Structures are given as structure tokens and as C-alpha cells.
Homo-oligomer: A and B are copies of this chain.
Amino acid sequence: MVQKYGGSSVADAEKIKAIARRVVAAKEKGDQVVVVISAMGDTTDELVNLAHQITSQPDERELDVLLSTGEIVSSTLLAMAVKSLGYKAVSLSGAQAGIQTDATYSRARIHTVTPQRILKELEKGNIVVVAGFQGVTQEMDITTLGRGGSDTTAVALAASLGAEVCQIYTDVEGVYTADPRLVPQAHKLKEIDYEEMMELATYGAKVMHPRAVEIGKLYNIPILVASSFTNSPGTLIHGGIPMEVRNKVRGIAQDLNVAKVTVVGVPDRPGIATAIFESLAQASISVDTIVQNASVNGITDLTFTVARSDLSKAMQIVEPVARSIGAKGCVSDAKRAKVSIVGTGMQNTPGYAARMFKALYQAGINIELITTSEIRITCIIDETKVAEAVRTLHEAFELEKI
């Protein structure tokens, strides 16, 4: 089995010793155990700080090598802790564990996993502790995997080792029907489908990064998300949930990191959207929801959302483009939010969008933009209305009953 420990469960030496006891308990059940571990507490931030004391723009290759030391430190400490309990253990860096990536520093993608060294250590009876969040290029240069990196390491290792399950231990107890801080009736799901989890994660649920879930789906590796502090059973993300027996809406996600940009009075001719979105892509700004109003007299409005942290950069890019294409101007609003309902059962069943819009309307919440996937409907609303929107939708889709 592959276990991953991250977040506040790796905060300090005492917590690492507690992880060691959990790891040993898993080994005692007769399993071969591979553990992926994140960096301790604020280590990564401290290392970034150090780099910024040297230069305001640290070299990407060097920054990756620097950051990779954070997980190496925690992996050695966990291996020491396991050994001090009388069990055999060995720590491996991402490179030693065979995590080979492309050379896109700071957000490398895993190409292949060649787990020969891990297998050799498991055969020797070792509990293998792998430093998460990192890999190595074909030229043996260290890379880091970016957001969700350690989760991705864990699921990729589980896939390459043919593990029965990948257990992700973190500071939440599992996947909930909605954020329990917003909805007291929200409850933990026993299981959830890969795609539902990916949509929930992409649209604001912080439990797991969608990228790691995607690898689980691709290789059909069940992923258990559970608390590293309790023994409650957690949520199993897998692909074997019978479609007909379940509630159509499985969860509600919200995301406050949303800003809206509208280019007003755009001449409606080919190539305009390209001009705007290409220049944003070149600046590595991810654009989310895009809506273009129906054209009136050859003039239209173009609205899209970006992460709040990207807003000022996006406006700097869009304003000159807007002028050059003869638009009237640009307006922005940083304080938007997304609420989404997610469920694979929705895809062949009409009426979910209508029920969602009606529920929000009856609660007096204005919908500004709408975007959908086959298994998700997302509305952009005012951020002050988010808590109310999530509660309203939780009730409207009877999520307290599933």
C-alpha cells in the first residue's frame, strides 16, 4: 500500500513520530508499505524566503533543487522515527524512487516511474519513505511537481507499483457534501467517483488536487482520503460506484479566488477573442469561465474570470489590447466567487440547472455567469453570498440525506 502524509500532520518532530506509529501499524497488518511525505510546516516558505534574500528572481532550476530539500529532510526524519520503533526503513529522494519528469521547473509533469529501487528495498523488508513533490529529468536534474505535487507522487507510485490503494492522510477527515464550516448539515461521503472528485477539487474543494485524482482514474487506483489524526474511515475515491443507486448531486464546492473582467463594447468580428486570450496565455494567466453576450449592432461584451492574484496583471495586458481592437473599455471586479454542484448522475438527467438557478433566485442570489461540464454546473456570484448559496443548494438537492 502507498500512504501519503502532508499538511499539518508533518508540522514537527512529534507529529512525525506519530506518523511513524501509523506507518508501523500498517506494516504490522502484513502489508508492504511505501510512504510519501511532504515538507515540514513552513519549510517550503522559508526556503523560498531564503532564495528571495539572494535575488528577487531566483533561477527556476536552482529554486527546484532548493525546495526539494524540504521533503528530503522530512523523509529522513520519518525513516529515522520508523527505525527507532524497531522496524526497517529507508528514505529515498524522488530521483532515487524513479520519478522521472519533464524539465518544466516548478511544475514538472511525471513522465514515467521506474520503481526498481523501491521494489528492491521492499524485498529487503524495508518500509520505504519517499520524498514527495519532486522528480528528476532524464539529465538527472531535480524538478518539483508544483501544486498537489506530493499527492501526485503518491498516486503515481501506487499506479506503478500496482498498489491496491493509495491512502492520502491529511488534516481533513474526508470529502464532504459541502464545506462543513458553511453548512452544518454537510456530511462526509463514504465514497465518490474520480470525476466527481476532480470537478469538486477543481472548483474549490481543497481536499485533494485534481491532478492526482486524474492519475488515479487513469490507472484505476482507489484513493482513500482520511485524517492523519483520527481513525475515522475517510472517503474512498474510486470508479466502481453503481451509477443508478446514488444521488445525482454528490457535492457542492465553492471558490473565493475569482475575479471578473469585462471588455465592454467589443466589435463582433473574427479574431477578437483570439487577440485577447492569446496575450493572456503568453503571460501564463489561466482564464476560466468565458462568456460573450449576443451581439447587438455588431457590438458585444466579453466577460471572463481569472484568479484574484492574476487580476492586476490581466488588466495590464487586456487594456491595451482592448484599445487596439476598438473596444470601449475594460471593467473588473475582484470580489466574485464560484459555487458548483457536482455529480456524475447529472449527466443524463435534465433539470438540474433549472433547479439550481431557481434555488439561488428564491434565495435572492444573483447569478452573473454560468459554466457547465457534463457533471458540474457552476455559477459566478457575489462573494458575500457564498455561504448562503452553498447552504441553499445543499438543502435544495437534499444532500443531508445521502
Q: Could you list which residues of chain A lie within 8 angstroms of chain B, going by C-beta atoms?
A: 12-14, 16-17, 47, 50-51, 53-55, 57-59, 61-63, 65-66, 69, 72-73, 75-77, 79-81, 83-84, 89-91, 93, 96, 117, 140
Q: How far is the CA of A31 from the CA of B96 in the complex (A)?
A: 34
CB within 8 Å for A80 and B96 given contacts A69-B72, A73-B66, A91-B62 = no
This chain: how many copies in the complex?
Answer: 2
> Would A54 and B13 count as touching, CB distance under 8 A?
yes
- In the complex, what's the smallest C-beta–C-beta distance from A86 to chain B, in angstroms? 11
Q: Assuming A13-B50, A65-B91, is B73 touching A55 (CB within 8 A)?
A: no
Q: Do the beta carbons of B72 and A77 come within 8 Å of each other?
A: no
12 A-B pairs with C-beta separation under 8 A: A12-B53, A13-B54, A17-B54, A47-B73, A55-B84, A57-B84, A58-B80, A59-B80, A59-B84, A62-B83, A63-B80, A66-B76
What is the CA–CA distance of A8 and B356 in the complex, to the nearest angstrom?
A: 65
- Judge whether A59 and B83 touch: CB under 8 Å: yes
B63 touches A76 (CB 8 A): yes
Chain B: minimal CB distance from A83 (Å): 5
Question: Provided the pairs A66-B76, A79-B59, A79-B62 are in contact, do residues A16 and B96 lie with their beta carbons within 8 angstroms?
Answer: no
Contact B66 A77 (CB under 8 A): yes
In the complex, how many angstroms separate the beta carbon of A64 from the nearest chain B beta carbon? 9
CA distance A16 to B53 in the complex (A): 10
Q: Which residues of B contact A13 (CB under 8 A)?
A: 50, 53-54
CA distance A53 to B17 in the complex (A): 9
Chain B hits for A117, CB < 8 A: 140
Across the two chains, which residue of chain B brings its CB closest to A64? B76
A55: which of B51, B63, B80 is its contact (CB, 8 Å)?
Answer: B80
Alpha-carbon separation in the docked complex, A57 to B93 (Å)? 22
Most buried by B among A58, A77, A80: A80
Residues of B within 8 A of A81 (CB): 54-55
- The complex places the Cα of A184 from the Cα of B69 at a distance, in Å, of 45
Contact A54 B16 (CB under 8 A): yes
Among residues of B, the one whose C-beta sits closest to the C-beta of A85 is B55
Asked if residues A50 and B77 are in contact (CB atoms below 8 Å), the reply is yes
